[in-house]
Structure 1
Amino acid sequence: MSYLGIDIGSSFIKSALLDTTRLQISGTVKIPTPGPLPNDKNYIFELDPHIIVKMITTMIEERVKLEGPIEGILLSTQMHGFVLADQSGEPLTNYISWRDTRGTYSNGNETQSSLEFLSQFLTPEKMSRCGTRLKSGLAACNLHHWIMNNPDQIKRKDISFCTLGSFLIYKLTGRNACHLTNAAATGFADPAKRAWNQDIIYEVGCDSFTFPDLLSEHEVCGYFGSTKGSIPVFPDIGDHQATVYGALKENTSIAVISGGTAGIVSVVTNEATAGDYENRPYFNNQYLRTVTQLPGGRNLDVLVDFIEEIGSSIYQASITKEDIWQKILQSLSVANQASSLESIKVELGFFKEQKMVKHGRIDNIREGNLTSGSLFRAAFENLADNFITALNKLADSTVQIQRIYLTGGLLHNNSLIQSTIQDLTGIETIPSNIQEEALTGLLHIAVKIANG
């Protein structure tokens, strides 16, 4: 039996056939995720939802045409963002991404930001029920900013709140439905009750909105009418949970460090406990103890963009980011092996909302040590240091970490980060042997669906 898995990440959209009989993933297709819409405010990060819907429906139809019958469609999607739609599923806003930080800026004539305003009411204790914390990029925070700046729109009686996944499901099936993993990531859910948190919805000011139906990963949301017949569509799984499920399933002794656009460190636990971390809902009544908003690929992109700009503005040379990365990885092997006193230092705090880093800076520059290899060696070492600090936050008497898996393209083949983490923690650190963890997570779910 073959299902279609679609993973909508921040950088790429991937699809593949999920063979539940042979337990195989095949025919993986990878295309870039659409970039943000132009905006003169650098804290706005929106995507055109029409483009995403068209890309996904085209992807499905092409698969059906080539492969024939598909038993169902499973989705994993980037989390925290939202779309507002009317009762027919037509978008009233763009997709406001997790990379959008409008909630940290003042609202119209107000001097306070939405983050500052909501923090007076949504205490850490209240937010702990949601499986997340109040932070920039969170749908609850950005939606409050939108409400404060759109007083006429808020008078409408037909507004539906959607996660990115539930919006796609709405367009594919006519039903606004989502999975708890994505619902919790908005800041509006109560995972323990498997329900929306009405207190937080009221505090944000969206109690007149309609929220998605919450369904388990095995329930059918509705059917997509393809050219070859109707296909069941299942709820959207948070891409973080899908990635960890692909690497671990229910294993509670392995920590996962995910190096995507942003960095995330997690471990599966059997209960939610208080600490300086999030308790995200997982599968089979488990939780993901998680530290988020760590530096990741987008931080390194700041350095890559600088190199690209030098080539363009000074040498009038056109060079792709892929070519730059290839040269960087080559230069790491011959980077200056100076002593720690002479080595360049990098702190990757290029985005103000990130954890573990306070500044964005290059330090300890000495004659002869500012090379591309030494620059990126220091950047990778800073990434590793941040991951280790996050790991220490997750550890307690209930968590016995025996191994660390590295997932994501940034970390899969990065021997420097791997050796640094292993040397400093004393814990075996290895790249996950699964290249497409999120799609593999969807395969695990598809197997359970197929087996009833």
Structure 2
Amino acid sequence: MKQYLAIDIGASSGRHIVGRAENGKFVTEEVYRFPNGNKSQGGHLIWDTEELLSHVKKGIAEAVKKCGRIDSFSIDTWAVDYVLMHGDKEIFPCYAYRDGRTERAIAEVHGTVPFETLYEKTGIQFQPFNTVYQLYADKLSGRLNEADGFLMLPEYLLYKLTGKRSCEYTNATSTGLVNAKTHAFDADIVSALGLPERLFEKRISQPGKTVGPLKAEIAAEVGCDMTAVLCATHDTASAVLAAPVACDFSSPYISSGTWSLLGVEQERAHTDADSMRENFSNEGGPRFTFRWQKNIMGLWILQSARRELGLDFAAAEALARANVCGALVDCNDEIFLAPESMCAAVREKAGDLTDGQLLYCIYASLADCYKRALRAMEEKLGKKFGTLNVIGGGSRDKLLNELTARAAGVKVMAGPAEATALGNLMVQMIAGGEIKDIGEGREMIGNTFPLRTFE
């Protein structure tokens, strides 16, 4: 019986989950979990890639120790961040997307290629940390002078384990440099911005492609040889693969974690002015599909406030339930991206709230953002949504699910919570010949993980 390892790394934690297909269902076991977060260095926020790689290897070794032979593995992370390369050497640091280094770059990029043109070509919404702005900031600082390539973070970790470079489609689209029609890096944008063409010579691959075996020394270190496979390396793309309800290009989802990604799968990108005005994104999915979605600041706001108040999840929810109030904030306001005090940022926008009211305000504001995004999608597509599949860690949040169902007037179907790891495993199982296609994989997930309903 084949066994697969999903390494799912989020901005706040990572986990290693071993899975196999058995009697038409997924059987999974979490074998390793580790904390993650930005580090401060020289006034910037960075990722400690050496520490990440160490945890990745420790988790692989733990998977082998607990479960025996692993046939293949794959890695997914958040999007947009990358490591610059010069030959086989890294050009550090690996900046974190919450770092504020792109302000000048954004103005210069849009002065050269108007955002309307970027959106028409790529379909990627404006966010100040999009890879296109980060790379341009690297150009301004001179960091690109020696670079001959760059690897998105999951592909960088795979490279360190296998020695093979790759460029996976779903994550490549998050750069804001991939043409939505040709599915390749847009040469006109690259040229206009003066980015070195040598950075974009990699062939973009679809999920399911084999990367290669572990390096011999890595295999010896972890106790087993295994093959690396490209999953949908952008974690949201993997998560949406595991959404049981999102199977007919008409049922919306929320991938609910540090970010809330609310959208619907589409067979083509919407790159028109209305979609741009609503700041919807068209992120690539397997088989050149698109996730037409709105990126909402998400549970980051709630997580930050909880930490600041010293409350665990249950205590924060209970306090919010006991302090219902009518205050709302725009969760997409950039003030919430990386404030010194999240509570102070919320109070600046919502007024003088008690701690309980502040927490309820965050919950209600997230639900309100979801409602507004759904209404804009309904208007654009000319249809009314009846259900909303909430996947990821936020699917466990009863209060948020209740408020979302009430605000949006939809039936909320919650689960699975570990959607990203399941989507990662699904692609490996398809590549391994154990699952026919995505539809069969979603059916298996629905049979394995019953959904909870909120109306």
Q: Please, what TM-score do these two structures have when normalized by structure 1?
A: 0.82
Which one of 188, 192, 196 corresponds to residue 203 of structure 1? 192
Asked if the contact 2:374–2:408 (Cα under 8 Å) also holds between the matched residues in 1, the reply is no
Which one of 287, 291, 294 corresponds to residue 294 of structure 2? 291
Equivalent positions of 1:358-369 (< 5 A) are: 360=346, 361=348, 363=350, 365=352
Asked if the contact 1:8–1:33 (Cα under 8 Å) also holds between the matched residues in 2, the reply is no
Equivalent positions of 1:231-380 (< 5 A) are: 231-237=226-232, 238-248=234-244, 250-273=247-270, 274=272, 275=275, 276=278, 277-292=280-295, 294-308=296-310, 321-322=311-312, 325-335=313-323, 343-345=326-328, 348=331, 351-352=334-335, 360=346, 361=348, 363=350, 365=352, 370-380=353-363
Asked if the contact 1:25–1:443 (Cα under 8 Å) also holds between the matched residues in 2, the reply is no
Deviation at 1:10, TM superposition (A): 0.9
Deviation at 1:329, TM superposition (A): 1.8
Amino acid at match of 1:93: F
Amino acid at match of 2:188: D
Asked if the contact 1:134–1:141 (Cα under 8 Å) also holds between the matched residues in 2, the reply is no
| Match in the other structure for 1:218 | 208
- Tell me the distance in 1 between the aligned counterparts of 2:411 and 2:101: 40
Closer, same or farther: CA 218–120 of 1 in aligned 2, 3 Å: same
Superposed CA RMSD in Å reads 2.5
Asked if the contact 2:405–2:411 (Cα under 8 Å) also holds between the matched residues in 1, the reply is yes
- Tell me the distance in 2 between the aligned counterparts of 1:429 and 1:405: 6
SS at match of 1:161: strand
Which one of 413, 422, 425 corresponds to residue 430 of structure 1? 413
Percent identity, aligned pairs only? 18
SS at match of 1:189: coil
| Match in the other structure for 2:20 | 19
Deviations 1:156-184 (A, max 9, x none): 2x522110011112111112102100011
Deviation at 1:328, TM superposition (A): 1.8
Closer, same or farther: CA 95–33 of 1 in aligned 2, 3 Å: farther
Q: After the TM superposition, which of the residue ranges 439-448 and 394-403 deviates more from structure 2?
A: 394-403
Amino acid at match of 2:135: L
Figure out how many residues of one structure are paired with residues of the other and give that number.
408
Amino acid at match of 2:156: F
- Tell me the distance in 1 between the aligned counterparts of 2:145 and 2:351: 56
SS at match of 1:230: coil
SS at match of 1:120: helix
Higher helix share: 2
SS at match of 1:205: coil
Q: After the TM superposition, which of the residue ranges 199-208 and 253-262 deviates more from structure 2?
A: 199-208
Does residue 79 (structure 1) correspond to residue 79 (structure 2)? The answer is: yes
Equivalent positions of 1:129-144 (< 5 A) are: 129-144=121-136
Amino acid at match of 1:218: G
Closer, same or farther: CA 14–83 of 1 in aligned 2, 3 Å: same
| Match in the other structure for 1:421 | 404
Q: After the TM superposition, which of the residue ranges 60-69 and 214-223 deviates more from structure 2?
A: 60-69
SS at match of 1:375: helix
Q: Please, what TM-score do these two structures have when normalized by structure 2?
A: 0.82
| Match in the other structure for 1:313 | none
